[in-house]
């Protein structure tokens, strides 16, 4: 059955600019339908408390949010699904100070006008960390492939009695992102040989073990009253999470004071600001330093500005 979820959206919310904010919408269990402007994904615990969230236009400011489930969800489950939806769209992030700052310069005024800056997140922070590890040192297409195999192999299937997706996407699109316990129950050899994670396999397995056993309460990072530096240190303590990954994970926690440069950002910065010649990271850092606690977000929006003017690549 389909149930409408009532979510409170911030005044500066923009649906498409959130779901296309970075590559997560192209990674299962997210599914985007560009033609209809719809984002869907399976959420829940893998049992009766599972369903599919469907966000859709017509309104960019207040998109429709529906829940597809096999039976009627209890009030408690509805509340849990609404909470998941809020987390995925990061609705609790207050971007008003950011947009106020962006309006103070002609070069960044477009960001406030576009209501850009909110980033799509996984259902759990565990999902975000695993996906970030899968982006390291490989092409984007390989990230998509590894993630799809991971979801297919370990993600519980969610049946809601309605068609969620068609064609090749139907399978992974109706699976949950794997739990830490499901991955921890595997082996490094299996993750290398079957899921083909390569040298990332021991990193993902160790993370899954730590989370599944309770040794690492990674979900608390989303609400922890820790400084950005403390969170950064905690993230760097995860094997496979280096400077790039930690900084970009901080962005998904609403902390934007580090850049999180990768080769793509460096090349894009060079193209935009230095005639195509790559510059040292220190020069990129200096360029954005005036934006202080927002510099990581300003950098990301600067190098992806053409997406907003032309076409989102996902």
List of residues contacting DNA (CB under 7 A):
22-23, 135-142, 145, 192-193, 196-200, 203, 236, 238-246, 248, 262-264
Shortest Cβ 195–DNA spacing (Å): 9
Residue whose CB is less far from DNA, 130 or 241: 241
Q: Which residues of 228-257 are buried (b: 16+ CB within 10 A; e: fewer)?
A: beebbebbeebebbebbbbbbbbbbbbbbb
Residue whose CB is less far from DNA, 36 or 141: 141
Shortest Cβ 246–DNA spacing (Å): 6
Shortest Cβ 98–DNA spacing (Å): 20
Residue whose CB is less far from DNA, 28 or 244: 244
Distance CA 16, CA 35 (A): 12
Residue whose CB is less far from DNA, 160 or 241: 241
Residue whose CB is less far from DNA, 156 or 180: 180
Distance CA 151, CA 127 (A): 10
Shortest Cβ 269–DNA spacing (Å): 13
Shortest Cβ 198–DNA spacing (Å): 3
Shortest Cβ 260–DNA spacing (Å): 8
Residue whose CB is less far from DNA, 52 or 211: 211
């Amino acid at each position: 059955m389909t149930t409408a979820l009532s979510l409170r959206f911030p005044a500066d919310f923009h649906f498409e600019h959130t779901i296309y904010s970075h590559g997560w919408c192209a990674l299962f269990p997210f599914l985007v339908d560009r033609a209809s402007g719809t984002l869907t994904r399976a959420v829940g615990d893998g049992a009766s408390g599972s369903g599919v969230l469907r966000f859709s236009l017509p309104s960019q400011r207040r998109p429709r949010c529906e829940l597809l489930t096999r039976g009627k969800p209890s009030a408690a489950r509805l509340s849990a699904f609404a909470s998941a939806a809020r987390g995925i769209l990061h609705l609790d992030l207050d971007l008003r100070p950011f947009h106020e700052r962006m309006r103070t310069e002609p070069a960044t005024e477009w960001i406030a006008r576009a209501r850009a800056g909110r980033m799509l997140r996984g259902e759990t922070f565990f999902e975000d960390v695993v996906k970030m590890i899968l982006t390291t040192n490989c092409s984007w297409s390989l990230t998509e492939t590894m993630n799809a195999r991971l979801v297919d192999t370990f993600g519980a299937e969610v049946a809601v009695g309605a068609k969620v997706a068609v064609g090749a996407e139907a399978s992974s699109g109706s699976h949950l992102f794997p739990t830490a316990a499901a991955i921890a129950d595997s082996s490094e050899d299996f993750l290398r040989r079957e899921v083909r994670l390569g040298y990332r396999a021991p990193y993902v397995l160790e993370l899954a073990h730590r989370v599944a056993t309770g040794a690492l309460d990674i979900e608390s990072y989303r609400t922890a009253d820790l400084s950005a530096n403390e969170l950064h240190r905690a993230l760097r303590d995860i094997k496979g999470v280096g400077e790039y990954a930690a900084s970009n994970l901080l962005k998904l926690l609403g902390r934007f004071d580090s850049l999180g440069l990768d080769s793509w950002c460096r090349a894009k910065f060079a193209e935009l600001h230095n005639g195509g010649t790559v510059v040292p990271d220190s020069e990129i850092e200096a360029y954005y330093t005036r934006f202080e606690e927002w510099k990581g977000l300003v950098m990301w929006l600067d190098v992806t500005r053409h997406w907003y003017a032309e076409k989102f690549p996902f």
